[in-house]
């Protein structure tokens, strides 16, 4: 059967060309193909040598990645791994590698109080738990009922029974927990531009510049809440799976101006497919520190992502 490709919105393509002029064709090519499936270890339930033995014994084909440690590209069929004991028992979690980066950058540690502000379906909440272990105070918030149920299911399968879950809007976190957390994750709802797939118009049909601007407002409200919930000296990671600067650098720049004593920390990871945050957009200059934020460029197995790390020096 001949593949049917649909046209992406022209306004969106113009934006991508302006953001990535030197690699525009390469980025556009990633919209033609589905990403390779990737997964990671759940260290709450197994260790890496044992997991690889289990996968080999169960006939699951994979390629282990050098980074992040404990991550893999799936070479078997998706249905095969979904039938495997490793999957059913929660020893692994299917997650795009780009999505694994924000919790790694958050660096959760034993004894810390950690908040996942927009937690469903639980990918980053469960990864935080896998990285830090059980001896943390972990709170996950999700406002939508259906997504909240998905969060509960993920945490149950992954063995994260020590997390406190709240079916509540993340905008309430700052009011409910002012100055409380050591670490806050804000993986904000976004326009999902990095997930566009030209064979599936549903992936990009809802997109419009108006929607991007509306989401930018929501993201600013959420990051404000997250920063308010941080204790002095606390750290926050902000991330999206979209390209639009209005949802990325503009949101971070707004937060830096809103909170005195908030500063950016280096968001750097050992990736060849990355670039620095934009210094300006459409004539508007951003903080001179914006180059410390990171844009992950899409490739065969990684989605496009934007990630910023901030520290709250004082109230």
Active site residues: 241
What residues contact residue 304 under an 8 Å CB cut-off, 6+ apart? 27, 30, 98, 193, 194, 241, 242, 243, 295, 296, 297, 298
- Which among 46, 40, 44 has a CA at the least distance from the CA of 161? 44
In order of 35, 89, 98, 199, the CA distances from 302 in angstroms are: 7, 25, 5, 18
CA distance 298 to 29: 10
- Per-position DSSP letters for 111-149, written without gaps between them: T-EEEESS-TT-HHHHHHHHHH-SSSEEEEE--SHHHHH
């Amino acid at each position: 059967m001949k593949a049917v490709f649909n046209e992406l919105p022209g306004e969106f393509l113009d934006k991508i060309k302006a953001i990535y002029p030197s690699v525009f064709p390469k980025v556009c090519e990633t919209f033609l193909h589905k990403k390779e499936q990737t997964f990671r270890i759940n260290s709450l339930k197994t260790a890496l040598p044992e997991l690889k033995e289990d996968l080999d014994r169960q006939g699951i084909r994979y390629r282990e990645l050098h980074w992040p440690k404990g991550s893999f590209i799936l070479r078997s069929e998706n249905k095969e791994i979904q039938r495997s004991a490793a999957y059913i028992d929660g020893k692994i979690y299917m997650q795009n590698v780009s999505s694994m980066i924000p919790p790694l950058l958050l660096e959760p540690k034993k004894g810390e109080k950690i908040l996942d502000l927009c937690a469903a379906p639980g990918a980053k909440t469960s990864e935080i738990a896998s990285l830090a272990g059980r001896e943390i105070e972990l709170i996950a918030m999700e406002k939508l009922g259906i997504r909240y149920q998905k969060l509960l299911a993920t945490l149950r399968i992954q063995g994260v029974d020590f997390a406190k879950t709240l079916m509540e809007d993340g905008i309430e976190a700052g009011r409910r927990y002012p100055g409380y957390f050591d670490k806050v994750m804000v993986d904000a709802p976004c326009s999902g531009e990095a997930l566009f797939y030209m064979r599936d118009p549903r992936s990009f049909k809802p997109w419009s510049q108006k929607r991007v601007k509306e989401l930018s407002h929501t993201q600013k409200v959420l990051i404000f809440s997250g920063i308010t919930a941080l204790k002095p000296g606390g750290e926050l990671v902000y991330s999206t799976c979209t390209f639009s600067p209005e949802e990325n650098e503009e949101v971070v720049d707004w937060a830096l101006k809103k909170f005195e004593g908030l500063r950016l920390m280096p968001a750097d990871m050992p990736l060849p497919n990355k670039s620095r945050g934009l210094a300006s957009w459409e004539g508007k200059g951003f903080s001179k520190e914006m180059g410390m934020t990171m844009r992950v460029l899409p490739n065969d197995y990684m989605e496009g992502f934007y990630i910023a790390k901030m520290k709250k020096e004082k109230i």
